[in-house]
Structure 1
């Protein structure tokens, strides 16, 4: 019970403290408006270029939107622990490390799920391609897995922040790489082999493909390998962290 309490309260307080430091007023434009505008930008650009359809860009960028809280959230939470002088207390505590750091991941994964859902709903309404009701349960399951996997990457970035001051730069670099090679806006199949390997080594590439198949009407059994692959990527990053 003490580990469960540590998991819940520790994660909640870490998440709450981060937005006290960053100002809650940043949440709506950064987390909700920005991703929706990104969907509209790439969808309109795709229309102009004659490449891809609206739903291709809607799904890709909506899933990718969870990377904003999931990558930067855990990274900033750990770096602010160090900056505020509380990190030595966390590391010296006899409490379970798994409970402590898993608690840092889950709130940002839930935040990422919210961001992706909002982007998917409002982006779909703006483009006239909303997600159908029958597709929602499977899409939600894939988004949960994708957000948790991406949060594992964020925690790994935060771990690097314990020994480096350049983690925000590295996190921005990873975020841009995910925009380019995750399959959100350019299909993995048309990328050069080295870039495709990078995309497959990062979270979300399998999640994006799985959501696209789900909204195309594919059954859950056909998506199981993609979802298991996304889980495996997240576990690898959590172990690294």
Structure 2
């Protein structure tokens, strides 16, 4: 019964996400604005990799930056979660019987769907120009890897959202710094092993590190078990962050009810 209630809250909140997305984009502005911008970013970083003269790095740079686009969009959950406090709805959510985490989990799911679509278009439409070809049988696996990576990154962003809800003026800074750090340290531009070991340990806790390994293995025709292992590890990272985010939202709500620290505006 409790699970059914939580899923219903997520579903209703996701309907808000759909309405929010429709108010943000038209099909023209998404296609020629957002998608065009992200494809240009993929092309730029891939061509920069070509200048290094390594065919292997060239392919991995293309795959990495294509997958990174879904993470960039998933991290927008940080900003869109902060909108609730700026709109004055957060105290109402805290006082409602619905769980705060369930509401916020569904509230920004549009970024997961849109980000997956962006990365999918980048990988399939731009791939042939950079020597990356996908067998028809691999296309469904590409979608699965992107969904797991995007959703896992979204869960990480949800945790950051709790921090930003207490300092909404930092929403864009936290979102941008987070995805730029992932782009730098998680294997998108250079291998994770390039960095000192402590950075590598942190990178192993971030979903895109494993999602990217899975996608690179898939692009190189790697074994199915290798791809599956990395997808599983990305999913486990996502589960870890969703549990941390759920606990953080619960603490935020409890503190707000106890000391009245959640006001109607911020």
- Shorter-chain TM range is 0.7 to 0.9
> Between Structure 1 and Structure 2, how many residues are aligned?
239
Confirm or deny: 8 A CA contact 2:210 2:234 kept in the other structure. Answer: yes
Match of 2:135 among 132, 135, 141: 132
Match of 2:195 among 163, 174, 191: 191
Matches within 5 A, 1:1-241: 3-17=6-20, 20=23, 24=26, 27-28=30-31, 31-51=34-54, 52-72=56-76, 74-164=77-167, 165-241=169-245
Relative to structure 1, is the Cα distance of residues 76 and 94 closer, same or farther in structure 2, using a 3 angstrom cutoff?
Answer: same
In terms of mean alpha carbon deviation, does 118-127 or 148-157 score higher? 118-127
Structure number, greater radius of gyration = 2
Q: Which blocks of at least 5 consecutive residues in structure 1 are unaligned?
A: none
CA distance in 2, matches of 1:176, 1:208: 15
SS at structure 1 position matched to 2:165? coil
Confirm or deny: 8 A CA contact 2:17 2:108 kept in the other structure. Answer: no
SS at structure 2 position matched to 1:49? coil
CA distance in 1, matches of 2:108, 2:232: 19
Q: Which blocks of at least 5 consecutive residues in structure 2 are unaligned?
A: 246-266
Relative to structure 1, is the Cα distance of residues 119 and 183 closer, same or farther in structure 2, using a 3 angstrom cutoff?
Answer: same
Relative to structure 1, is the Cα distance of residues 105 and 80 closer, same or farther in structure 2, using a 3 angstrom cutoff?
Answer: closer
Confirm or deny: 8 A CA contact 2:81 2:104 kept in the other structure. Answer: no
Over aligned residue pairs, what C-alpha RMSD do you find? 2.3
Q: Please, what TM-score do these two structures have when normalized by structure 1?
A: 0.88
